[in-house]
Amino acid sequence: MATQRWCRARLAPAFALSLMLAACGGGGGDYGSSSSGGAMLQPTLASIQANVFTPICTRCHTGASAPQGLRLDDGASCGNLINVHSPQDSTLIRVVPGDPNASFIIQKLEGTQTVGARMPFGGPYLPQSTIDVIRQWISDGATC
């Protein structure tokens, strides 16, 4: 009896958390879910723009006052990411087509960066399934 109470006390919070996470939509499939509730996120700039950059990143990265000059508004993100050196460290390139591991954006999203904070600043952070889609876009050549 005491063992059952201990198990219930230990498992109830974990079960409740799993129900809450499931209710939030979670990712499903290879590319995670769309943050806008639409189609699955695809490894294209258009899909990443519509489902990640615009609804999440442009909370800060928009307009003339965008941090580090990194505007991620629709129409500006491509030119501000691909083969662009980071002002935080000129040896870092924001997006290196074909090489996600060398791309500073991936380091910032995964929290492995050597300068600055993990993004999105202060969290909540993107699920790995979403970062994996961005990785795939970069691996595929990061076309606009």
Q: Looking at residue 88, what is its pLDDT?
A: 93
| Annotated domain spans of the chain | 28-139
**Cα–chain center distance at 22:** 19
| CB count in 10 Å sphere of residue 72 | 23
pLDDT tens, residue by residue, 15-53? 333 323 333 333 333 334 444 444 699 999 999 999 999
pTM for the model stands at: 0.74
Cα angle vertex 136, ends 140, 61, to 5°?
Answer: 105
